[in-house]
Structure formats: C-alpha cells, structure tokens
Amino acid sequence: MSRIKVFVPRETSAISVGADDVAIAIARKSKQLGTDIELIRNGSWGACWLEPLVEVQIGEQRIAYGNVEAGDVDSLFEAGFLEGGEHARRLGPTVEIPYLINQDRWTFWRCGLIAPLSIDDYIAHNGFKALTAAFEMGSDAVIEAVTASGLRGRGGAGFPTGIKWRTVADAAGEQKYIACNADEGDSGTFSDRMLMEGDPFTLIESMAIAGYAVGATKGYIYLRSEYPLAHRVLSKAIAAGRDAGWLGADIQGSGADFDIELHLGGGSYVCGEETAMLESLEGKRGIVRSKPPLPAISGLFGSPTVVNNVVTLASVPNIITLGADRYDGFGVNRSKGTLAFQLAGNVKRGGLVEKAFGITLRELIEDFGGGTATGRPVKAVQVGGPLGAYLPAEQLDTPLDYEAFSEIGAMIGHGGIVVFDDLTNMAHQARFAMEFCAIESCGKCTPCRIGSTRGVEVIDRMIAGEKRDENYDLLVELCDTMEDASLCAMGGMTPYPVRSVLKYFAEDFSPPGEQ
C-alpha cells in the first residue's frame, strides 16, 4: 500500500501562524498510531487566510483542512482525516475552494501543488520544458514570443519585457548578465517570496531562458535579507539545479552555459530600485545611478544587463510552452496577461490572487477578500506599496490596468493591495510616507533626502493645527519639487500617497474636536 500523502506548507506565512507545529504534531501522531504517511512540505496556494492549510491526497484529489492548529491534530486523526473524514476544519477538495478556482493561475499554477525542492516533481509538472523548447526555438524566437505576449515588468515600472531583452541581446559586450530583482520591499507584497519558496525551479528555469535569449551566461538573484526561508530554499534549489545539469556549463547538452549567484541585501528599501540594486550587487552602498545609460546597455559591472523582477521572469516559461497569444489573451488594453495581486492589511481573506488585468479593486477586495478583517467599512486602499496612492472607497471600481491607474494619479506597482478601515487616521499615513522616505532615501539627490524630512515636519505642524493653510500650500509645493526633481521613484513618488491624502482625506489633518 502506498503511503498517504499529507501536505503542510513550508512557507513563511503558513509557518508564521503555526504550520511547523502542525507538521510536527501530524508526524508525531501518525508515528504513535503506526500509520505510515508521507509528509510533504509544499509551498502555499496563497490563501493565507486559511493557513495553515493542510491537505491529504485521496486518489486523484487533495482534500483541504483550513486554519489547522497543532491542537486540532488529535481530533483530525480521530475524524479519519487521512481518508478525508469530516471535521470542522474540512474545506473539501482544494481545487474547489472558490478563492482558488476563480483565479487565472498562469505564473503561480505550480505553487502549492508541488514539493518545492523536488526536481523530479518539478519535471513531472512540465518543469524545464520551456527551457528545452527555447533551445530548439533559438534566442530570437524566444525574444519574439516574450514581446508578442505583451508581458510588462511586474516589479512596478511596467516596462515591456521583450523590448528590454532585445536591447540587451543587441548590445555590444562580451559578458552580459541577468539580474533578478527579488528585493520585494513594498509593504503589502509577497508574491516574489511565495514563488521563490513554493516553486523555486521556475525562477531558475526562467533566468536560464532569459540568459539564453540575450546571450548572458551569468545571473544574479538579489534577495532581501528579510526573507530567510526563501534564501534557504533558493540556495538548495540552485545547488540541485547544478547537480542535475540544469545550471552550469553546456546545460543538458545544449551548448548554452548559465549559472546563478544568490546575493543577500542589507535591509535597504531603495536597493529594490534597479540601479541601486546593481550598485549593491557590486558590493557598494546602494546609491541610485543616473540614467542614462540604461542597465540594458551598461548595467552590472558596466555590462549589458537584464534587470527583471521575480514574477516577470516566472511568467515566461508558460509563454514559451503555451504560446504568447494565450498570455496576450488575458487582460485589457495595454495591460496584458495576469498579475499576482496580493490582498493585505485589514482584509478578511488576505492572500495571493492571480487574475487577468481588468478586474476591479472592488471585485478583489469584496469578492475575493470578503471586505475588511475588522468588519468595518473600507476607508482607503493603498495599491503599489509605500509609493502608491491611497484610494478612497469611491474609487474601488477602478479596473486594474496600468494606464487606468496612471490616469487617477495611482499605480499598480508590484500588485500589493493594502486595505484600511474607517478608524484609520490618514494624516498619519501621509506622515509615514514622508517618514519612510526619510529613513530609506539613498541620499544622492536633495529633493528626496531633504524634502522627505521637511515633509514630516510640515505634516506634523498641520496635524498640530499650526498655520494649516500655509502649511498645506507648502506641502503641495514640496510634493511638486520632489516629484519633478528626484532622481528615482523613491523621492519622485513619495508625493503620491501624500497628495492622495490631501485630496481625499484632508479632514484627517484637523485636530480632534474640529472634525
């Protein structure tokens, strides 16, 4: 009799709410009962609100049990959960959970499904098919497919990926590089982390495809230090990839060489900006570079470099195997394909929702998210991280589309959606935007370095009720200066959340009693 497979995620969010304890309790109990189970530590499906989410393989199906605590394990065994038995925690088949089936899983389809560090499991689920196909297609055809898919940079800037790859491929240079930006610092975002923890070989395969396409033999992953589990998983996956001949010299006899070096950040937010990241990869202070030259022409160590976000890269394999037109078939206008949205903050059902562009914020927050966790009305939603605008409840019907967001002075960024309820004081959020910029500014340009500190001071005076009208004008002027004259998005976009608070939540600047 084959052993019953039990899945408990080894993923940061699941572990943060007790998944390791649940795994230990299940292993202990099954040993005690003499039941032979195979405990698989999978990635997360992304339904964070159901974590720890335990699954049992019954025939072809996986039966899910949600919000399992270590204290539930005895009763789960008593209820016969290894046969899919009824229990208060039982959710039914994983593939029937509405939160999951209503998604368009393109990039994250393997996440939760497979054992992240099993290269055999990866290969059994179409792993490395895209890289093999890429070798057969030739580098030009790969770049053409990526261009035709309409894929744009998922890190936040939304630059067309195919054009970037073409630029690097055409650039003169002996050595070229792929630099994967895994410095996912925006609050409300965790999709890079989930992919790296739940399906690391996809990132490795994607980087190898990018390397082959543009003629780069070396790749770097710049991973933030706040993700220790992702670091362990990626380190092991890279080693396993090398052992199996999917990284290194002459990959699978293709004649193509490609290897990856994993680098850790030092806790600096601005190192998520591509040129600061390159400086940091070179061992220096993470100071933003002036552009031009673009990294595609002169990037890491002065060589042509593709800088792509984790999710951007990880979207490529299916574009190769399923076809660019399939990907292009998702989405609206110039926002093609899917984005892994992340529902976070004060939301009842937080987690990762991969959907085609065009869905509205309301659909994401209400239909998927179930409204706020506190059950109170939504006051504001910050989309796109600390540099993203705070949208009032009236704007929830805005479709998620790069250009539609740009029109209302907002941005989609890396797809993080942070929900705030009506008890939030938005003046404090505006202050935090400036404060965060002051803490994280690299210091190279004055508007960002000084402007952010002045911004905190001006907002403090407004909150205290000092010369509110004059300080309001001063703050607007400061925002103009930062936006127009900063070197990068750190100083240039910190005004976005601030302006949105001034525009939609100005009453929150009034001292108590005046509201």
Closest CA to 205 of 107, 103, 336, 337: 107
Nearest-angstrom CA–CA distance, 165 and 206: 13
Choosing from 66, 127, 153, 185, the residue that interacts with other proteins (CB under 8 A) is 185
Nearest distance in Å: CB 281, other proteins: 8
Per CB under 8 A, 432 contacts other proteins: yes
* Number of chain residues interacting with other proteins (CB under 8 A): 62
Written as six digits, the tokens of 160 are: 């067309």
Residues 6+ apart with CB under 8 A from 336: 149, 150, 151, 152, 327, 328, 330, 357
Per CB under 8 A, 226 contacts other proteins: yes
Binding mask 381-410 for other proteins (x = CB under 8 A): -x---x------------------------
Nearest-angstrom CA–CA distance, 105 and 354: 6
483-501 core/surface letters (b: 16 or more CB in 10 A; e: else): beebbbbbbbbbbbbbbbb
Per CB under 8 A, 182 contacts other proteins: no
> Which among 27-35, 133-141, 150-158, 260-268 is the span making contact with other proteins, rule CB under 8 A?
260-268
182-219 core/surface letters (b: 16 or more CB in 10 A; e: else): bbbbbbbbbbbbbbbbbbbbbbbbbbbbbbbbbbbbbb
Choosing from 341, 357, 420, 505, the residue that interacts with other proteins (CB under 8 A) is 420
For the segment 329-368, give every residue that binds other proteins (CB under 8 A).
342-347, 350-352
> Whose Cβ is closer to other proteins: residue 165's or residue 405's?
405
For residue 220, what are the β-bridge partners? 179, 261
E strand or H helix at 261: strand 259-264
For the segment 439-498, give every residue that binds other proteins (CB under 8 A).
439-440, 442
Per CB under 8 A, 24 contacts other proteins: no
Nearest-angstrom CA–CA distance, 273 and 292: 14
Q: In the chain, how long is the greatest CA-to-CA distance?
A: 78
> Whose Cβ is closer to other proteins: residue 226's or residue 257's?
226
> Whose Cβ is closer to other proteins: residue 135's or residue 190's?
190
For the segment 38-97, give every residue that binds other proteins (CB under 8 A).
48-49, 51
**C-alpha 48: how far from chain center:** 14
What's the start-to-end Cα distance of the chain, in Å?
A: 70
Choosing from 16, 235, 333, 406, the residue that interacts with other proteins (CB under 8 A) is 16
> Whose Cβ is closer to other proteins: residue 44's or residue 57's?
44
Question: CA of 323: how far to CAs of 14, 130, 148, in Å?
Answer: 33, 10, 9
Nearest distance in Å: CB 94, other proteins: 18
Choosing from 98, 253, 283, 513, the residue that interacts with other proteins (CB under 8 A) is 283
Residues at the contact surface with other proteins, assessed by CB under 8 A = 12-13, 15-17, 48-49, 51, 184-190, 192-193, 225-229, 263-269, 280-287, 301, 342-347, 350-352, 373, 382, 386, 416, 418-421, 424, 429, 432, 436, 439-440, 442
